[in-house]
A and B are shown apart, each in its own frame.
Chain A
Amino acid sequence: DTGVSQDPRHKITKRGQNVTFRCDPISEHNRLYWYRQTLGQGPEFLTYFQNEAQLEKSRLLSDRFSAERPKGSFSTLEIQRTEQGDSAMYLCASSPGQTPYNEQFFGPGTRLTVL
């Protein structure tokens, strides 16, 4: 299966700890997105990369959040000093350079629980 993969699938941490999630997009997709989804809500956009450049960040991405895509392939999302409000599903999506539908291909997500 060559879909978007995310690691880990689940993460439980204590408040105040740092966590890092990884996303491997579909190969040759130069666009990569991060979203956050809480229970009963649709996904909310966090940030977007085109190749290694981070081109857009949502207001939801506070100073405790940082995302990288160092070589334009995989991406990491780090949350520092986690808070209980950070508990959510973190979704990664990728899309190719050109698509008639701007279709984004989502991974299975990383579910974060902050105790």
Chain B
Amino acid sequence: LAKTTQPISMDSYEGQEVNITCSHNNIATNDYITWYQQFPSQGPRFIIQGYKTKVTNEVASLFIPADRKSSTLSLPRVSLSDTAVYYCLVGDVGGPGTALIFGKGTTLSVSS
């Protein structure tokens, strides 16, 4: 499985755009890039997934360059409630029952 590297922590202020970059140099052809969010005392929650180029949903955008060796999760205009741990996961989601492999994640702290 491809190993991921992301910053341990990031700080931001309300209203700012936050970009969290994840490195995955050994990503395989069948691997997708998925981001989960986890609030304290809660289980992780799926945010977004992509294979290449750009994906956008109501919560975030995911930018993936052509070589796919990195990806950037973009959170527009963060609020205090976006304070959480964000996990970048890389793996083949095609198979049934694929276990999710989490790293340590990026702790995002949003201040007023």
Asked if A50 contacts B102 (CB within 8 A), the reply is: no
Asked if A108 contacts B41 (CB within 8 A), the reply is: yes
Asked if B43 contacts A93 (CB within 8 A), the reply is: yes
What 1/0 mask marks residues of chain B from 32 to 56 whose CB sits below 8 Å from any chain A CB?
A: 1010000001111110010000000
* A33 located at the interface, meaning its Cβ lies under 8 Å from any Cβ of chain B in the complex: yes
User: How long is the Cα–Cα vector from A111 to B44 in the complex, in angstroms?
Assistant: 15
Number of interface residues of B (CB under 8 A): 22
CB-CB contacts below 8 Å: A66-111 with B: 91-93, 97, 101-109, 111
Partner of B34, one of A40, A41, A58, A101: A101
> How many residue pairs, one in A and one in B, have C-beta atoms under 8 Å apart?
63
Asked if A48 contacts B104 (CB within 8 A), the reply is: no
Q: Which residues of B contact A42 (CB under 8 A)?
A: 85, 87, 102-105
Asked if A91 contacts B43 (CB within 8 A), the reply is: yes
Secondary structure class of chain B's binding surface, majority of residues: loop
Considering the complex, give the chain A residue whose CB is closest to the CB of B46.
A103
Asked if A108 contacts B43 (CB within 8 A), the reply is: yes
CB-CB contacts below 8 Å: A25-73 with B: 31, 33, 35, 40-45, 48, 50, 55-56, 58
Partner of A43, one of B41, B44, B49: B44
Mark A residues whose CB is within 8 Å of B.
4, 31, 33, 35, 40-45, 48, 50, 55-56, 58, 91-93, 97, 101-109, 111
Mark B residues whose CB is within 8 Å of A.
32, 34, 41-46, 49, 85, 87, 93, 96-105
